[in-house]
Every structure is written in structure tokens, then in C-alpha cells.
Structure 1
Amino acid sequence: MKRSFKATAIHGLWRLLSGWRLATLWRLAGIASRVLYAVSRRERHVSRRNLEVAFPDATQADRRQRVRQSLHHSAATMLELGFAWIGAPRRVDEAIIEVHGRELLDDARAENRGVIVLAPHFGNWEVLNFWLSSHFPFTAMYEPPKIADLDPVIRHGRERMGAELVPTNPRGVAALLKALKRAEAIGILPDQEPNWGSGVFADFFGRQAYTATLLPKLVARTQARVVTGVARRLPGGRGFAIHFLAADERVYASDETISATGVNACVEAAIGLDPVQYQWEYKRWKKTPEEEQNVPGYRRFRLYRKH
């Protein structure tokens, strides 16, 4: 009952906000992020620790400002979910003001090659999904939410422009392979930490991060082209700019560690477009090589342990 009520309330909020102007949502996100910064030690601490790794030469004041700005963008993404999933398609389409690098996708399809879009948690990735599924046959993996009653809402929102969602299991991987062999586009989240046994440690901003190895398996079996895709939020909630960036050449390596290093380099390049639009509150360096190797006392190496 509680989950059903919560799902109804969240859906109602998304529906309410779906008709609001992006500029208004951006201002509301500013208020929400200030509250989040004040009361949520976890988000504040994790974001700060991640930024210390990624930008070691930044001053404490600069890093503190980036934490605030990053939380502002993360709050905006949450408030924009109704806009991306429920809002009138015409409004979402009109909010996409710029598209850069589309030729990378068009050229691959002209060569009858599939396209793997690496979509990190940057800007508003739901807007990126909207654009991709509006312009190309597009398949992406999907894991149902913890609140099961929200599943049909989210699924409909992501599929409404033609995307096909597949499960995060071997059946889903098989569906991705079939889509690539049909010279279609698929989406992969490159910056989520996989379960043990599904990744390797590879450099990410100079520190080893446990990184999924699905990409080299897909490339080896399909000869697909890889690009990085993001929807960058324009200042003041003015709209979005879609960017497609050519992948680091290492992603095509057969060696999984080299390929994973290339994937992380792609994420770094995307972050370089506007670092504060990345979701820094995610524990990207939670797993450690010492933990994998069962090094005695490995807990002392953990980045996110509070002192």
C-alpha cells in the first residue's frame, strides 16, 4: 500500500511538472539543491571525494562550488523527468536546440554498421534517449525500478518515441547484438559499476575504477562503431544541446582492460564539455583492486570512508 501510494504521488508530481517551462524547473532545482546540500551529508561527501580525484589541482573553494553546481544539475534532471517522459513530444523536440556530431551516426548507418552510443550520467540522459529513439531504431537495456508500480510509467516514457527496452541479462545482450547486426543504434551506460565478474579495473581520472566489459564483446561480434552521446543542459534552463563525440580508439581493442580504459576516456571527454553536469554523487570508485584480490585490511583504501 505504501509503495502504491508513493508511486501515485511520484507519478502525479511528474505529470504536474511535465507542463512547466524548463527555466522554471531550473529555478526550482536551484532551491532543491540548496536544501540537498544542507541536509544530505552523503551526496555532499561523495561528490566532494569524487571531485578531489578528478580535479586534484582545484582549490577547496572551487571544489565546493562544483559540488553545489553538480547537485543543482542533478536536481534539475529529476525535476525534468516528467518533461522528458510525459511532456508533449513537440515541446521536448523544440527544447533540443543544438545537435552536434550527428554525422557520426549517419556515416555508420550508411556503411551498414550498427552504432553503440555510450551515454554517461551527464546532463539529461532521458532527453538523449528521446532524441535517439526519435531519429533511429534504438535499443537500450532497462532495469525495472525498485517501486514496481512506477515501471509502466517509466517504460512508456522511454519507449514512447520508438525505443525498445530489453532486460539487463543474457537475453537483453542477445537483443543488443541482433539490433547491431541490423545496423541499428543501441545505448549503454558506461559509468555504472558492474557486479564482480562483469568488469575489469581501468584508469578513470588517474584512479582505478571497476568498469564493465560488455562493450568489447559487442564490438568483436558486430564491428559496430562506438560514439559517446550526451544531452548538455544549456544555461538557465534554455534547452539542451545534443553532442555525439567520436570514441577513444582504445574502445575497439580486443583486450578488455584496454577497451575499458578507452570507455573511461570517452566518459572523461564528455565530462569535459561541462564538468558540473556530471552526476558526481555516484560512488564510481567504490570497488578497489585490493578488495578484488582480498588484500588484508583493504578497507583502509576505500575512498568514501568518512574520517
Structure 2
Amino acid sequence: MTEQATPPASRFQARAIATLWRTLSRWPVRWLWRIAALVGPQVYRFSKRERKVTEINLKVVYPDAPANQRQSLAKQSLQHSTATMLELGHAWMAPPEKVEASILAVHGRDKLDSARAEGRGVIVLAPHFGNWEVLNFWLSSHFPFTAMYEPPKIAGLEPIIRHGRERMGAKLVPTNPRGVAALLKALKRSEAIGILPDQEPDWGSGVFAPFYGRDSYTATLLPKLVARTQARVVTGVALRIPGKGFEIHFLDADERVYSADDTESATGVNASVEASIALDPAQYQWEYKRYRKVVEEQQGLPNANDFRLY
């Protein structure tokens, strides 16, 4: 969609959001965290959808935790999600040296370096944890890096987001067979690619696999990429150090991700996501509906009424 075809209201909305990001990109990350600490409780109070879905998911994955602990975790999670939104300008628009300076440490880089030294590509599973845009910045700053990209709903933001994600050299490819072919070519060149492991795929592109003990519809792209390239798989996150910056962590993926069986591989993917969440459960984006397709399939979940908003 061209800007001329974009409704005036959408163009105004895109300009307003871009102006906000540009303004916030000039602020230190410690200020952004302070704002998130003020805005986060309001998001919890007034954003019914985000609050309810977060609380539903936390009840599913931590059923034995006291209700007051889950509520506290929900509030913390929405504060971190607020921080991520405020930090988008930092990741996409701030001077590169400023973003680099906000990355306080990188753990596990040797996993990527050794794989490439062996002539193998690296598949980075990047869940919605911490600030994944900072992770994209670091990866594309230090490695040839390719990731799939789906244009935003607000068409006027598309060039801004694309420029922000590509400015350090990342190559964005569409979420279709042409994009998959580009990922395969990148891996065969011993490069790094990024995959969102916790985003529900369309029907026919996934299998049901356990996530915290409950079935969740999970993409099956990974075993196809591994089978054709022998790539190494790691999980990557940018852990937020509140008020200070970020630490990048690369973790070995669960060994089951290398299975040729789709369900076994998907189970390994979800286990890998769980391992990254364990770094700080409050930094995971719990307001995403990981169990929606289970409900659509009427799998007969215990406590099915807990999913009424799905």
C-alpha cells in the first residue's frame, strides 16, 4: 500500500507514533524505564485485554503459585512490555554507538562464532522476551543476519520500522516461500538467521506441542531448515537490566530441536523458550495468546473457562 492510498487518519497516526519514537530515542534508557514504571500500572489497570490475557497465561503456566504472586508478576510483565514499546525508538533511531553502549554484556557469543568457524549457519530463536529489537540490532551489527518480516497494520509505519531493523545490515525477507528460500540460502552461506519461536503460525504450518505442559500450536519451519542445512540452533534474548541497559544471552537450544519429527522438534523449541523465560519470567510478553488455537480446536483443556477471552 502506498502512502497515497493510506487513509489520512492512518497517516496522521503513523506520523504521531514516529515522532514519539524519535523523541524517546534521544532519552537515556534509564529515563524510559522510569516512565514505564509510571505507565505500566496504568496499562494493568485500564488495558483489560492485556491484563486478562496475561493473567490467564500466568494461571496456566504457574498453576501452583499463589494468586497474589501471579498478580504481581502480571503487573511486572506489563511494565516490561511498556518499556519495550518505549524503547523502540532507542533500538531503531538512536545513534548506533548509543545503542551499542546500552548493551552491557554479551553471554554465549562463542556459540555463534564456533558454528560459523565450522562452516555452519546459526538459527537464532528469538522469543518475545526483554527487548528483541535490541537483540536484532546487535546480531545485525556483528553478523550477516536475515530475518522474516511482516509489514505492520499501520501502513505508514512500514518504511520506518523496516529502516530501523535494516539499518545495521539486517536483511528482511517476506513470510512466504520466497522468504523461506532466502533463509535457506543465508544458512548455506554460514550466516545467522532469526526466527520467532513463540508466534502462532497459520493452520497447516505447525503442530501442537507442549508449552509449560499445555499444548500450543507451534511452527514447524525449524526442522525443515535444520534438515537441509545442518545449522546450529541457539536461543537469543536481550535481557533488560532495569534502568541500566541490556545483556545479550545466547543459550544452547534443547537438543530435541534437531529432530526430524515435527512434533519432537516443536517440543524442543518450546522447551528452549521456557529456558530463556527462566532468566526473568517478568520479561516475557505474556499478553500474547499462545493457547488460542488449542481453544479453537476444542481440545478439552481443564479449566477451559479460564480461556473465555481467547
DSSP 3-state at the match of 2:210: strand
Matched, 1:185 2:187: no
Residues 8-157 of structure 1: matches in 2 within 5 Å?
Answer: 8-157=15-164
* Segment drifting more, 33-42 vs 206-215: 33-42
Whole-Å separation in 2 of the counterparts to 1:302 and 1:291: 13
- Show the counterpart of 2:183: 176
- Show the counterpart of 1:256: 262
* Aligned residues of 1:234 and 1:240 also touching (Cα < 8 A): yes
* Segment drifting more, 52-61 vs 121-130: 52-61
CA deviation profile, 1:80-103 (whole Å, cap 9, x unmatched): 000000001001000000100000
> Shift of the alpha carbon at 1:19?
0.5
Q: Could you tell me the percent identity over the aligned residues? A: 69
DSSP 3-state at the match of 2:194: strand
* Cα RMSD after superposing both structures: 1.7
List runs of 5+ in structure 2 lacking aligned partners.
Answer: 1-7
Whole-Å separation in 2 of the counterparts to 1:291 and 1:163: 36
Whole-Å separation in 2 of the counterparts to 1:129 and 1:304: 32
CA deviation profile, 1:195-251 (whole Å, cap 9, x unmatched): 11010000100100000000000001100000000000013x201000000010000
Whole-Å separation in 2 of the counterparts to 1:155 and 1:120: 19
* Aligned residues of 1:105 and 1:115 also touching (Cα < 8 A): yes
CA deviation profile, 1:149-173 (whole Å, cap 9, x unmatched): 1111000000000000000000000
Matched to 1:142, the amino acid is Y
CA deviation profile, 1:132-164 (whole Å, cap 9, x unmatched): 000000000000001111111000000000000
Matched to 2:228, the amino acid is R
Moved over 4 A (4+): none
CA deviation profile, 1:234-270 (whole Å, cap 9, x unmatched): 13x2010000000100000000000000000000000
Matched, 1:286 2:292: yes
* Aligned residues of 1:285 and 1:303 also touching (Cα < 8 A): no
CA deviation profile, 1:31-88 (whole Å, cap 9, x unmatched): 2111111111111111011111111121111000000000000000000000000001
Matched, 1:304 2:295: no
* Aligned residues of 1:286 and 1:303 also touching (Cα < 8 A): no
Whole-Å separation in 2 of the counterparts to 1:285 and 1:32: 27
Residues 204-243 of structure 1: matches in 2 within 5 Å?
Answer: 204-235=211-242, 237-243=243-249
Whole-Å separation in 2 of the counterparts to 1:8 and 1:303: 39
> Shift of the alpha carbon at 1:303?
4.5
Whole-Å separation in 1 of the counterparts to 2:86 and 2:119: 38
Whole-Å separation in 1 of the counterparts to 2:169 and 2:15: 25
* Aligned residues of 2:256 and 2:268 also touching (Cα < 8 A): yes
List runs of 5+ in structure 1 lacking aligned partners.
Answer: none
> Shift of the alpha carbon at 1:193?
0.7
* Aligned residues of 1:119 and 1:190 also touching (Cα < 8 A): yes
> Shift of the alpha carbon at 1:301?
3.7
* Segment drifting more, 30-39 vs 7-16: 30-39
Whole-Å separation in 1 of the counterparts to 2:58 and 2:45: 18
Whole-Å separation in 2 of the counterparts to 1:263 and 1:29: 30
Matched to 1:99, the amino acid is V
Whole-Å separation in 1 of the counterparts to 2:309 and 2:245: 38
* Aligned residues of 2:223 and 2:259 also touching (Cα < 8 A): yes
Structure 1 length normalisation: TM-score?
Answer: 0.96
Whole-Å separation in 2 of the counterparts to 1:304 and 1:196: 20
Matched, 1:197 2:200: no
Aligned residues: 303
